Amino acid sequence: MARLALSVLLILCFSLPQNSTGRPSRTRKAVSPRQPGEDDDVTSQLERLWQEVNSLKEMQALQTVCLRGIKAHRKCYLTVEEPKHYHEANEDCIAQGGTLATPRDPAENNELRDYAKRSAPGAKDFWIGVADIVKEGQYVDVNSVPVSYLNWDRSKRQPTGTKRESCVALSVAAQGKWHDEVCRSLKKYICEYVIP
């Protein structure tokens, strides 16, 4: 990070005007007067540099998350062991730069199940980013996009179809099958972070 800051500082130093007195330097050739719009060019260069710095910071934070969790399917996953209700869990994932994990196919679901089992032994259920809060029976992810992959525990007649149970949990005990649950229930959860 210190090297990054030093690089940005050096670029800024070399991109800003070197001569503030208006007289030519003895060691450099005289610089022609600034043309209209050149300040805009420097400003846009500075803006691009800050965007690059922020992007690098985000990448570094994502790599830290990935080191604590797992990488799979162009995403990083991280279990959080402090139980929260569904909405608090999702807000916590968002505050960390992700969302509640949403398995999109059987392979991803199995990867989440295995990771949850390893990372939080003894835990039975984890919130995932699927719910039918807006319209009963219409399951969407945390971005309100309809979910095409569903993995209900049919042996327990899931989903129950009641309006009280609108949030979805992945059950490690039921081999990764899903069940709907009251959103105010306290559960551990899995966050996902998309790898750019």
pTM value is 0.68
- Helices marked H in 26-98 — which ranges? 38-68, 86-95
What percent of the chain is modeled with pLDDT above 90?
53
Rounded Cα distance, 148 and 138, in Å: 10
For residue range 29-86, list pLDDT tens digits in order: 455 555 555 567 888 888 888 777 766 656 665 666 677 788 887 888 999 999 999 9
Q: How far apart are CA 124 and CA 36, in angstroms?
A: 66
Which region among 28-37, 60-69, 118-127, 136-145 has the lowest average model confidence (pLDDT)? 28-37
